[in-house]
Chain A
Amino acid sequence: GAVVSQHPSWVICKSGTSVKIECRSLDFQATTMFWYRQFPKQSLMLMATSNEGSKATYEQGVEKDKFLINHASLTLSTLTVTSAHPEDSSFYICSARGRGMSYNEQFFGPGTRLTVL
């Protein structure tokens, strides 16, 4: 149990276009979802936290107008990278925490590799 999926697993796009990444909890209701970014050979950095039905909370330095997060249901959160540029190329990983689960534990998706040309 506690499976989180992401789609797509990788995407290549041209500079200036927008890319949407989906994060789904497959067998539990995700009351909270987190979005992280990981540059090559670096650590994971928390970008934002989203609770179902409310606006996302962004970490300092993360542009909310560039990284649009929607958590419209208890099983789906989306991250849209708007007007993507090469410096946005990274590994984007979501995680989710569910209702009734161990309070702290969060389950990670497999990640989405974004390459902006």
Chain B
Amino acid sequence: GENVEQHPSTLSVQEGDSAVIKCTYSDSASNYFPWYKQELGKRPQLIIDIRSNVGEKKDQRIAVTLNKTAKHFSLHITETQPEDSAVYFCAANGGRGADGLTFGKGTHLIIQP
């Protein structure tokens, strides 16, 4: 089955700086890679996703890049703000027909004022 590795587990950056979170996946059949933001006790919130036919996608301060050959994808957040503090999860669908997601272990992003 699919295996998703995520790094780092904790990331502390100064407000206004950029943050980068990296994930690798194992199943070459995976074709959908979402990123979620989760606040304590809440549901995961989709912040951006990318499909395997695209190498990069951007939405305002958030961007995701995908390297299919190396099987890794990254989340980039620019001009970080205090409200960006949360746990971020990457995921991959493992190419399964039903698209159940395999999640990375999560990154606790801390924005220092």
Contact = CB atoms under 8 A, between A and B. Distances in A.
Contacts of A60: 1
Interface stretch (B11-19, B38-46, B59-67, B75-83): B38-46
Given A43-B105, A60-B1, A104-B32, A93 B98 contact: no
Interface residues of B, number: 23
A49 B1 CA distance: 15
Given A43-B89, A43-B106, A44-B89, A106 B43 contact: no
B103 to A, nearest CB: 5
Contacts of A108: 43-45
Interface string A83-113: 0000000010100010000011110111101
B87 to A, nearest CB: 9
Contacts of A42: 105-106
Contacts of B31: 104
Interface in B45-103: 45-46, 49, 51, 89, 93, 98-103
A18 interface: no
Nearest to B102: A46
A45 interface: yes
Task: State the majority secondary structure of interface residues on A.
Answer: strand
B42 to A, nearest CB: 7
B37 to A, nearest CB: 12
Contacts of A93: 43-44
A95 B31 CA distance: 19
A49 B98 contact: yes
Contacts of A45: 103
Contacts of B49: 104-105
A104 B102 contact: no
Interface of A: 32, 34, 42-46, 49, 51, 57, 59-60, 91, 93, 97, 103-106, 108-111, 113
